[in-house]
Amino acid sequence: MAKPLYERSKTARNMLERANGILGFRITDIMFEGSEEELKATHVTQPAIFLHSVVLALCSGLERPDMVAGHSLGEFSALVVAGAMSFEDGLRLVAIRASEMQQCCTAVPGTMAAVIGLPDEDVEMVCEGCGGIVVPANYNCSGQVVISGETDAVREACEKLKAAGAKRALLLSVGGAFHSPLMEPARKELGKAIQATSIRTPDCPVYQNVTARPTTDPAAIKRNLLAQLTHPVLWTPTVRNMIADGADRFLEIGPGTVLQGLIRRIGGAGLSIEGISE
């Protein structure tokens, strides 16, 4: 992750070395040479994805965006790119978020599952009828919802969803039940950190996960960042609202191409959709 950029760009190298100092360990060693198991640890995964995305965005000579959005963790990257917070502050918040979420995962084991081929309302209804905690966590595109919660409850929901006609209901290889009530204990420390962080008026509207609507209000940005912990990611309405507000070119920045596929399914033909993932 980001090794070619580190090797060729002095700016990228300086940013990543600053990140090593802020985090207190050489995350670049894991990003460049670490095992998949090491990289999947929540306290590594989240800062690594944030760093890869932000360094790419700030070192690629991109034109100023008209609007930005990020999926879950990606919202922090989007806020840095939009000028709402500094690179250093964004990384500190992501590190605290990852640490607190990891503690939640250890305290109450949970998981997530991808559900394909059912209307959102059907997924919601099935989750409500299950024992234990299981809720929709990511509204990714029409016919694709990720659910999250206690492991047994998610397994029960998967069986019921398949019986209800879902094409697939597959458990995901994740560290815990993100964007569910199981993340509630993380709110205290993350809330303190967010309140202590300087959030500026961004250079362009930011479409946040919990509302799917644009904002440039620093106070609203702070509230929504914290609410995101236990609130579903409203990606489908986010993309639809961006298109309604004039977006016709989308650029995904960071590892992978998942969001490009989701945007194609949401927006259909006529959009320019690209990615930078070096």
Q: What is the pLDDT of residue 40?
A: 85
Question: Is 43 among the residues known to form the active site?
Answer: no
Kind plus residue range of the DSSP H or E element containing 18: helix 10-23
Please give the C-alpha separations between residue 256 and each of 1, 18, 218, in angstroms, as whole numbers. Answer: 11, 24, 29
Q: What is the pLDDT of residue 197?
A: 98
Q: What is the pLDDT of residue 62?
A: 86
Question: 55 near 27, Cβ under 8 Å?
Answer: no
- Enumerate domains of the chain plus CATH numbers: 3-106+181-276 (3.40.366.10), 110-171 (3.30.70.250)
Q: What is the pLDDT of residue 27?
A: 97
Question: Is 99 among the residues known to form the active site?
Answer: no
* Gyration radius of the chain's alpha carbons: 18
Q: What is the pLDDT of residue 30?
A: 97
Q: Looking at 52, 179, 180, 231, which residue is catalytic?
A: 179
DSSP-based three-state secondary structure for 103: helix
Q: Closest Cα to residue 71, out of 141, 134, 132, 21?
A: 141
The b/e string for 3-37 (b: 16+ C-beta within 10 A; e otherwise) is eebbeebeebbebbeebeeebeeebbebbeebeee
Q: What is the pLDDT of residue 175?
A: 84
Q: Closest Cα to residue 138, out of 40, 4, 237?
A: 237
Output the six-digit token pair for 23: 């985090």
| pTM score of the predicted model | 0.95
Angle subtended at Cα 153 by Cα 147 and Cα 154, rounded to the nearest 5 degrees: 35
Q: Looking at 72, 86, 148, 231, which residue is catalytic?
A: 72
Per-residue pLDDT for the chain (278 aa), expressed as one digit of tens each?
999 999 999 999 999 999 999 999 999 999 999 998 899 888 899 999 999 999 999 998 888 999 999 999 999 999 999 999 999 999 999 999 999 999 999 999 899 999 999 999 999 999 999 999 999 999 999 999 999 999 999 999 999 999 999 999 999 988 899 999 999 999 999 999 999 999 999 999 999 999 999 999 999 999 999 999 999 999 999 999 999 999 999 999 999 899 999 999 999 888 999 999 87
